[in-house]
A and B are shown apart, each in its own frame.
Chain A
Amino acid sequence: MMYSAILKHITDFYESAIFVYCAGLFLFYILLAVLSLVAIRRSLWKNKIRGQQMLVASPLTPGISVVAPAYNEGVTIISNVRSLLALNYPRFEVVIVNDGSKDDTLEKLINEFELVEISFAYRQQIPCQEVKRFFKSTNPAYSKLLVLDKVNGKSKADAVNAGINAAAFDYFLNTDVDCILARDTLLKLIKPFMDDPERVIATGAPLRAANSCDVEAGVITRVRVPGALLPRFQEMEYIRSYLLGKMGWTFINAVPNVSGGLGLFDKDIVIKSGGYDPASFGEDMDMVVRMCKYMCEQDLPYRIHYIPETLCWTEVPATYKVFFRQRIRWARGLAQIFGTHRKVLFNPKYKKLGLVIFPYNFFFELLAPLIEFAGIIYYIYIIVNHLINWDYAIILLVFIYTFSILITSLSMLWDQLIFRYYKSWKEVWQLCILALAEPFIYHPMVLICAIRGYFNQLTGRKHTWGNMQRQGFNQSSNLQKSV
């Protein structure tokens, strides 16, 4: 009797705690939705009153080094490098880091861009594997291109560090060589650096799935919603995460992460923060955390911006195997960050990082899968033991389900209000309808990956990086013929 009374108290407390947790999370989401709309509108208004073309002609425009690591990218490397070289910016260089590719990536670069080995004054300011050779083109048309050939460092972080060491300019763009960038990417990303009275240490912009988009000569000519289900779910998730999440955080200068696919950084701060950590599974977030820590420790005011326009299209995993591997790594990276930077949590010394970003990520990103998983186990337990009140259980499930659909719908609405990248109604509906299925199909997969990632991190299991297994883009027929 006493046992069941104690159990009842525990379950009552657990249920109330979970409800408060959900309510807190939902409140945060609503707040982010409102803030993101304000931030997006403000950003677009600024764009309207301040043209960016003056940067193209100005002798004062700061230089940018575009750092793009390449590992076994032989199939697409030429068109991707051409796309990077075609960026619209007056002063930039493209630093391709061949990270010990085992295929013909380097040979293709040498032949296509008429590269010759040169003696290069290289200083290793942040750690990375040895850079064996440097190449420059003898063709003046490719004078912006610098190719590094280095020993494989088994991580993107290691390759980016090598690129940063060789970079000539004060700002660098971290991207993947397979990403397709909008032509004005650099113009748009550099603007916040010049437009803020405080020191801006990084800017980012949304990424979207390139899987079904039409691509011609390395340029997106028609944005399409991915045809396959898994990439389409990811597209929806990206829109929600960037437009509703990161833009909301931008408004209060509490951006937790600048994506590894596209981010413009202040090189000086990155170097002073020690560069990317090759041992990190979430090297992009880890880098941003260390940059923020450095600024707080030096008592320097700083800002990190996100701009709302999509500037980068990347091929998202189309197979479940690759998707699971990626998400397990991300979850592991998050857990690893909280282990590495545990002293930041609730530490007022780190200002917003310690009091807003870390607590939010701890409770609503790191713990969320665990709490959800525990909730599922609890549900099963009370069902098996006939303790469940089905009416209440259904009401609570509907509560969570309807709210998750609302949040996704709002992000789709923001996207439609402001950008309308998709030409047809059909494409918009394809994404909207997916919001209904997400809690049943996509979300459980993400949950499983998160639990698996935490487990791997706890047990110190060795991670296999694997290959992305790219499927290529929809090239125009003319281009395909010429290729």
Chain B
Amino acid sequence: MSSFRQWLEDLVYYFAYFPLVIQIAIIVSVLAVAGTVLAYIYMIIYRWQKEKQAQKEIPLREKGDELLLEHIIYKSLGGADTPVALPLEAFSVLPLQKPWAARVFISQLIAYRDNFTGDIPLLLRQLYLELGLHRAAAAALKSGRRKQVINALVELSGMGVLLEKDHVLTLTQSSDQHIREMARCYVVQCSPDAPFEFFSHVQEPLLLWEQFELFRIISLRKDIPMPSFARWIDPQFHPSVITLCLKLAAYFQQPEAIPAMIRMLHTEDEQLRAVTINNLGKLMALEAEPILVEMYPQQPDSCKLEILKALGRIGSGNFIGFLQQQLEHTEDFLLMKHAAHSIVAHKALASGLITQLQHSLTGTRQQVLQHSLNPLIKY
């Protein structure tokens, strides 16, 4: 032990005389030991803090659940027509003046809102407002700090509360992608009058994720009449907005969007054209069938595939011969497969043809038809 100490003392004493390499090695070693010790100390403190925090939150969550169940959930389940008075004094037992407690309770409110339908989400929203829990989020919204703004948008969106409408509308044009995205979702979710206005001003693409989120929010909004999405199915708008509106028009079965969709078939953007064809199929646009068949030979494979799918979805039977021709003559396996699927999708209209094809087709084409006919094969 004493020789080791002596060695260390020598090391310190002669440090200045060591070659540079050895000096660096010594410094790095000391830093590494210090870093390791710090890492473990931090690990201990952090884990302990988290455990302590969890222990602190558990009783609050239990009490919060108890109060919400007793005063909101059970009462609103009792009678549909009975208005539920919010017993704010009952919730005064929660230490909501403390930020951590307010944060925990708000997360509970959001979770309950996500898991219930009907009047309960509205009551939870009212409770949130009457307890004044929205004030911190409202302040954060204007704080100018990125994370705070986003967290506030997520919270207010989760609670369905629209605050600072004009300010939020400016946030939908923010240069920060996440702020912009959250603000758009927030406006679509909460705006009572013009939730879709920003569609007209979109300059940056809506990411696929954002399209999904907007689609979900819009499909769940029952409190406003849906606009005609054909308005945005126009080349003057951003392609990602057109894509979303094509999907929405099909989802809400808006046949008035069909002429706008047909006009979009001339777009240069192959991906957008394919989405347009796909949604014409979902709208069962009978008038689009001859146009699709006519444009088929000039199209790239992705659009050809969508045309075949669309003809199957529309299923009028007017172009079943075209599908038969594709099945019998195309060399492309995917086109062959979708031609077969679309023939089968014609159901009774194609029963005679299917019997005939079962006898006349051979090899891969026969196998493809059998594949499409097999009810066990789902995809």
* A contacts, CB < 8 Å to B: 15-16, 19, 23, 26, 45, 48-50, 53-55, 57-61, 63, 93, 116, 118-123, 136-138, 143-144, 168-169, 191, 193-197, 391-392, 395-396, 398-399, 402-403, 405-406, 409-410, 412-413, 416-417, 420, 425, 428, 432
Contact = CB atoms under 8 A, between A and B. Distances in A.
9 contacts: A45-B147, A60-B211, A118-B376, A119-B367, A392-B18, A403-B32, A409-B39, A416-B46, A417-B43
A425 B43 CA distance: 10
B274 to A, nearest CB: 13
B213 A406 contact: no
Contact of A19 (B21, B29, B154, B211): B21
A371 to B, nearest CB: 16
B29 A399 contact: yes
A191 B213 CA distance: 12
Contacts of A50: 209, 213
A258 B156 CA distance: 38
Nearest to A417: B46
B251 A49 contact: no
Nearest to B208: A194
Interface in B37-52: 39-40, 42-43, 46-47, 50
A54 B218 CA distance: 12
Given A55-B212, A395-B26, A416 B43 contact: yes
B216 A58 contact: yes
Contacts of A417: 43, 46
Contact of B367 (A63, A121, A398, A402): A121
Residue from A138, A412, A413 having most chain B Cβ neighbours under 10 A: A413
A20 to B, nearest CB: 9
Interface in B18-44: 18-19, 21-22, 24-26, 28-29, 32-33, 35-36, 39-40, 42-43
Given A121-B337, A405-B32, A54 B371 contact: no
A413 B371 contact: no
Contact of B25 (A118, A399, A409): A399
A170 B127 CA distance: 45
B236 to A, nearest CB: 22
Contacts of A53: 114
A143 B213 CA distance: 29
Interface in B249-279: 251
B376 A395 contact: no
A115 B263 CA distance: 48
A395 B379 contact: no
Contacts of B18: 392
B360 interface: no
A425 B47 CA distance: 9
Contacts of B333: 121, 123
A55 to B, nearest CB: 7
B212 A58 contact: yes
Contacts of B26: 395, 399
Contacts of B32: 399, 402-403, 405-406
A197 B205 contact: yes
B362 interface: no
Given A136-B377, A416-B46, 19 more contacts: A19-B21, A58-B216, A60-B211, A60-B215, A93-B378, A118-B376, A194-B207, A194-B208, A197-B205, A395-B11, A395-B29, A396-B25, A398-B25, A399-B29, A409-B35, A412-B39, A413-B39, A420-B47, A428-B43
A195 B26 CA distance: 45
A413 B47 CA distance: 10
Contacts of A399: 25-26, 28-29, 32
Interface of B: 7, 11, 18-19, 21-22, 24-26, 28-29, 32-33, 35-36, 39-40, 42-43, 46-47, 50, 114, 147, 150-151, 154, 178, 182, 205, 207-209, 211-213, 215-216, 247, 251, 333, 337, 364, 367-368, 370-372, 374, 376-379
A143 B378 contact: yes
A405 B33 CA distance: 8
Contacts of B247: 60
Which secondary structure characterizes the binding site on chain B?
Answer: helix
A57 B114 CA distance: 13
Task: Please name the 6 residue pairs, one residue from A and one from B, whose CB atoms are nearest each other, closest first.
Answer: A121-B371, A168-B379, A402-B32, A399-B25, A194-B208, A136-B376
A19 B28 CA distance: 12
Given A16-B21, A23-B24, A137-B376, A402 B33 contact: yes
A240 to B, nearest CB: 13
Nearest to B337: A121
A26 B251 CA distance: 55
A197 B216 CA distance: 20
A93 B379 contact: yes
Nearest to B47: A416
A195 B207 contact: yes
Contacts of B208: 193-195
B182 A49 contact: yes
B212 A49 contact: no
A39 to B, nearest CB: 16
Nearest to B19: A392
Nearest to B371: A121
A54 B212 contact: yes
Contacts of B372: 121
Residue from B11, B24, B40, B147 having most chain A Cβ neighbours under 10 A: B40
A405 B28 contact: no
Contacts of A416: 43, 46-47
Residue from B43, B46, B147, B378 having most chain A Cβ neighbours under 10 A: B43
Contacts of B154: 48-49
A420 B50 contact: yes
B377 A395 contact: no
A119 to B, nearest CB: 4
B212 A60 contact: yes
Contacts of A16: 21
Contact of B376 (A116, A121, A403): A116
Contacts of B182: 49
B40 A409 contact: yes
Contacts of B7: 391
A153 to B, nearest CB: 22
B21 A398 contact: no
A196 B47 contact: no
A168 B26 CA distance: 59
A243 to B, nearest CB: 13
A197 B370 contact: no
Nearest to B42: A413
Contacts of B377: 118, 120, 136
B251 to A, nearest CB: 7
B212 A119 contact: no
Contact of B39 (A169, A191, A410): A410
B211 A406 contact: no
Contacts of B213: 50, 54
B36 A402 contact: yes
Contacts of B376: 116, 118, 136-138, 143
